[in-house]
């Protein structure tokens, strides 16, 4: 299921580098083979040309939509079946974005996260990651891909970096519109800095207190918030893209004046933006979502103190579809379905506009990578 394995299958059918590039590019862009100046019958070797239906079916089998859950904000959560029957969640975002999953489950164990409750089940291959983007492109235009779905991308570096490279080279996605989200890992910082395609970085911070971070993210790498900010700042200066520091706002836990002072001390003057996201309620987890008025006041206070702060809302809140929740509800029956299905849930009316723009980003839904 890896991209290199798929490419090897093309080469076994007689594909030369230009033929291989053409077929893979058609797939990742969700474009028909007969578009463009070079038609398949004039360009591809006969064995490869005759095998195109089987090749397309092979690519299509990497990921299929089991169900779609649209919301009034323009987003839609997709429950996606992978080739072995495992499921992940992919989110179609407003403004031509898609949020993809990189693992089935997660090993980080964030306490406010639904995805990681069962631990890591398996890695999502590079082919399966790109296939989620292809599914999205068959439904709507995609110009931004965020790796903020199920899983920790830094724990699946080879597959994620392969997918990022293909999307940035052949997928017609601007490099700054590829967003790698992580709880923080030195290996990831090093690999991203050396890669041909350097994506934007989103770093899950959530607190400025080392002890609290250890409790909230018990199996994240042993790096303090200050160390994480230093690594991220170096990468931001290298790429020219501001780091997106992600902060899931947990009522009564990381929303006090001491945390706000810590944010100002850590982030003032950094090439960064703070994305503050009120907690996406997960039934059964002992965390609360603060009121929107409280969240707005916190964001406004930080902005007034010189921290570029954006108050965001998780895409798909109204369909109770935080990553992990949708999969957990459907995992049993979804694994037994023979054919993809489609159903729609009624969405509530869009929220009223407020002074600080309610913006939407790709969302792990379990709130750890938002």
Strand order in the sheet with 87-93: 63-70, 76-82, 87-93, 97-99, 144-147, 178-182, 200-204, 243-249, 272-278, 309-311
Q: Which of 20, 190, 323, 338 is catalytic?
A: 323
DSSP character string of 257-303? HHHHHHHHHHHTTSSEEEEEEE----TTSS--PPPHHHHHHHHHHHH
Both structure tokens of 290: 């603060």
Find residue 90's DSSP bridge partners.
78
Examine the residue annotation and report whether 113 is marked as an active-site residue of this protein: no
Neighbours of 75 (CB within 10 A): 27
Q: Which of 89, 128, 152, 259 is catalytic?
A: 89
Q: In sequence order, which residues have a C-beta less than 8 Å from that of residue 51 and are 6 or more positions away?
A: 13
CA dihedral 315, 317, 321, 322 (to 10 degrees): 70
**Cβ pair 151, 115 in contact under 8 A:** yes
Is 128 an annotated catalytic residue?
A: no
CB-based contacts of 39: which residues, under 8 Å, 6+ apart? none
On whether the CB atoms of residues 230 and 353 are closer than 8 A, the answer is no
Q: What is the C-alpha R_g of the chain? A: 21
Which residues are identified as catalytic? 89, 323
């Amino acid at each position: 299921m890896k991209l290199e394995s798929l490419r090897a299958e093309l080469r076994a059918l007689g594909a030369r580098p230009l033929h291989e590039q053409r077929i893979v590019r058609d797939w990742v862009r969700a474009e028909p083979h007969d578009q463009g100046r070079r038609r398949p019958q004039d360009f591809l070797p006969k064995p490869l040309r005759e095998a195109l239906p089987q090749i397309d079916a092979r690519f299509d089998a990497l990921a299929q939509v089991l169900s779609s859950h649209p919301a009034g904000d323009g987003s839609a959560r997709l429950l996606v079946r992978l080739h072995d029957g495992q499921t992940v969640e992919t989110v179609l975002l407003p403004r031509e974005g898609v949020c993809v999953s990189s693992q089935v489950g997660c090993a980080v164990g964030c306490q406010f996260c639904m995805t990681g409750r069962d631990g890591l089940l398996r890695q999502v291959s590079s082919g399966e990651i790109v296939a989620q983007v292809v599914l999205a492109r068959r439904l709507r235009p995609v110009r931004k891909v965020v790796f903020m779905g199920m899983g920790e991308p830094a724990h699946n570096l080879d597959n994620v970096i392969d997918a990022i490279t293909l999307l940035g080279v052949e997928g017609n996605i601007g490099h700054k519109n590829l967003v790698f989200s992580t709880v923080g890992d030195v290996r990831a910082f090093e690999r991203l800095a050396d890669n041909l395609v350097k994506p934007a970085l989103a770093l899950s911070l959530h607190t400025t207190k080392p002890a609290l971070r250890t409790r909230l993210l018990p199996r994240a790498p042993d790096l303090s918030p200050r160390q994480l900010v230093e690594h991220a700042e170096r990468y931001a200066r290298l790429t020219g893209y501001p780091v997106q520091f992600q902060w899931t706002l947990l009522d009564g836990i990381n929303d006090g004046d001491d945390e706000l002072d810590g944010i100002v001390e850590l982030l003032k003057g950094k090439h960064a933006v703070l994305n503050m996201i009120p907690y996406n309620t997960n039934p059964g987890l002992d965390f609360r979502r603060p009121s929107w008025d409280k969240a707005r006041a916190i964001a406004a206070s930080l902005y007034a103190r010189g921290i570029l702060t954006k108050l965001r809302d998780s895409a798909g809140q109204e369909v109770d579809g935080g990553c992990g929740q949708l999969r957990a509800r459907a995992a049993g029956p979804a694994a037994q379905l023979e054919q993809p299905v489609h159903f729609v849930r009624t969405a509530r009316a869009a929220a009223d506009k407020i002074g600080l723009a309610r913006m939407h980003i790709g969302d792990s839904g379990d709130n750890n990578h938002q």
